[in-house]
Amino acid sequence: MQDYLDQQQLAPFLAMSERYGQLYQRMVDMLEKLDPDELDRRPERRAAIDELPAGTLASVWEDIDATIAGANVGGQANIEEAVDLHIGAVEAWIRSLEAQLRAG
């Protein structure tokens, strides 16, 4: 099985998937800190997202290009750079929310 995955050159994509999974969990954890009742509303929110027309973003944070538009990457970012910038931007946003919570 590993030989097949290696032949398909999937390792970078699996690594990106892992990083986004960890980022998603941090976002969910932050939502719980901001509003403990938010997690109870997840089924309703998911149902609302399912009703959106195809191609509609549920959040601007999902749009990698829009999120990193202000980053100075010296031209077009490759996918690895784009993912790094996107995850970095979302992590910075989470850190700013954490700072706001601490400041109270």
Q: How far apart are CA 78 and CA 73, in angstroms?
A: 10
- The model carries a pTM of 0.75
At 15-69, the pLDDT tens digits run 999 999 999 999 989 988 888 888 788 888 888 888 888 878 777 778 888 888 8
Do 34 and 101 meet the contact criterion of CB atoms below 8 Å apart? yes
Burial 14-42 (b: 16+ CB within 10 A, else e): eebeeeeeebeeebeebbeeeeeeeeeee
| Domains of the chain: total | 1
Task: Quote the domain boundaries for residue 35.
Answer: 2-103
